[in-house]
């Protein structure tokens, strides 16, 4: 049964073996994608012989492509019409825009390749997940502790947020957060994503995108940075500023439910968004979700 909201996951959902169920169904698309990226996406996802699957530039290409193929398979099975709305967690914006007809599969892959390369270049930053019932008060705690140069990168759930900053500042902050009862988990990333530290990448990405023309979305696309519906006039702004703004997943899912969306389907590797969204909407039987970045 098709759902009226389709959700696409972001970086962190990659796993060895992802895409196994769809690669054989779309051999021509796979061949063309391999020409664009210069290597075998199928081999990366299924075997990862060179240990690159968790490298940001490769990760983003792989997750985008697998998510798009899985969406094509989903649309073939259920038809495109039942999907009223698409949204995505960070990188997940791009398969969402593909599903909404904003660009084709291969232009999206080119854009994601540039995005991933720029994010891969961002160094000296770090990210920490803050877990527990006090996580909802993190903004207030950052002010009280006078860490004004630390940004909230993700509001994943009321008890799970992610902080992004220069590594030395987080080294100072984490013990102080733990002293007041927070549980902190370092994330395996090389940069301070979704923070002011991504400003150089944002500027370069804007230069890369500004000459491109995008089609108006054929479905409702909901931004997870602003919560608003993205029209054609806001697409470039969303793609560019998403790099320096937080992902507001908790607020977005709550908004969608409040505005009448009842069924949510995650398309892409893993089920982390499914778990997060069920927990946000009150399904207590859901397993504990992993921190997202």
pLDDT in tens, 127-148: 999 999 999 999 999 999 999 9
Query: DSSP letter at 287?
Result: P
Quote the pTM value.
Answer: 0.93
Residue with tokens 């984490």: 174
Tell me what the mean pLDDT of segment 238-247 comes to. 97
Residue 290: per-residue pLDDT = 44
Mean pLDDT value across the chain: 92
**CATH superfamily to which 5-122+195-280 belongs:** Malonyl-Coenzyme A Acyl Carrier Protein, domain 2 (3.40.366.10)
Q: Listing from the earlier edge strand, what are the strands of the sheet with 85-88?
A: 220-221, 85-88, 5-8, 264-266
pLDDT above 50 (res 287): no
Domain ranges of the chain: 5-122+195-280, 125-186
Report the Cα–Cα distance between both ends of the chain, in Å, rounded.
Answer: 30
Out of 90, 113, 223, 277, the active site residue is 90
CATH number of 125-186: 3.30.70.250
CA angle 34, 35, 36 (to 5 degrees): 90
Residue 282: per-residue pLDDT = 85
Point out the least confidently predicted range of 39-53, 75-89, 135-149, 178-192: 75-89
Tell me what the mean pLDDT of segment 101-119 comes to. 98
- Domains 5-122+195-280 and 125-186 fall in the same CATH topology: no
90 catalytically annotated: yes
Query: DSSP letter at 189?
Result: -
pLDDT above 60 (res 118): yes
Tell me what the mean pLDDT of segment 77-92 comes to. 86
194 catalytically annotated: yes
Residue 84: per-residue pLDDT = 81
Tell me what the mean pLDDT of segment 115-123 comes to. 93
Alpha-carbon distances, residue 65 vs 34, 144, 162 (angstroms)? 10, 43, 26
Out of 194, 197, 223, 261, the active site residue is 194
């Amino acid at each position: 049964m098709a759902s009226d909201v389709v959700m696409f996951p972001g970086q962190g959902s990659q796993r060895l073996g992802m895409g196994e169920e769809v690669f054989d169904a779309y051999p021509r698309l796979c061949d063309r994608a391999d020409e664009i990226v210069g290597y075998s996406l199928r081999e990366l996802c299924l075997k990862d012989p060179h240990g690159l699957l968790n490298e940001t530039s490769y990760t983003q290409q792989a997750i985008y492509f697998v998510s798009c193929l899985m969406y094509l398979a989903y649309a073939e099975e259920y038809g495109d019409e039942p999907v009223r709305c698409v949204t995505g967690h960070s990188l997940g914006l791009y398969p969402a825009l593909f599903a909404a007809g904003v660009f084709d599969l291969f232009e999206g892959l080119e854009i994601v390749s540039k995005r991933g390369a720029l994010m891969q270049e961002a160094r000296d930053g770090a990210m920490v997940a803050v877990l527990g019932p006090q996580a909802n008060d993190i903004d207030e705690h950052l002010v009280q502790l006078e860490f004004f140069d630390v940004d909230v990168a993700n509001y994943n759930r009321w008890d799970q947020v992610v902080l992004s900053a220069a590594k030395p500042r987080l080294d100072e902050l984490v013990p102080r957060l733990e002293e007041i009862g927070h549980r902190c988990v370092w994330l395996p990333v090389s940069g301070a994503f979704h923070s002011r530290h991504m400003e150089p990448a944002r500027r370069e990405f804007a230069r890369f995108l500004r000459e491109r023309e995008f089609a108006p979305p054929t479905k409702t696309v909901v931004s997870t940075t602003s919560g608003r519906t993205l029209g054609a006039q806001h697409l470039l702004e969303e793609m560019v500023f998403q790099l320096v703004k937080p992902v507001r997943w908790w607020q977005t899912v709550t908004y969608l439910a409040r505005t009448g969306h009842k069924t949510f389907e995650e398309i892409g590797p893993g089920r982390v968004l499914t778990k997060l969204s069920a927990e946000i909407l009150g399904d207590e039987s859901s397993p504990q979700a992993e921190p997202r970045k």
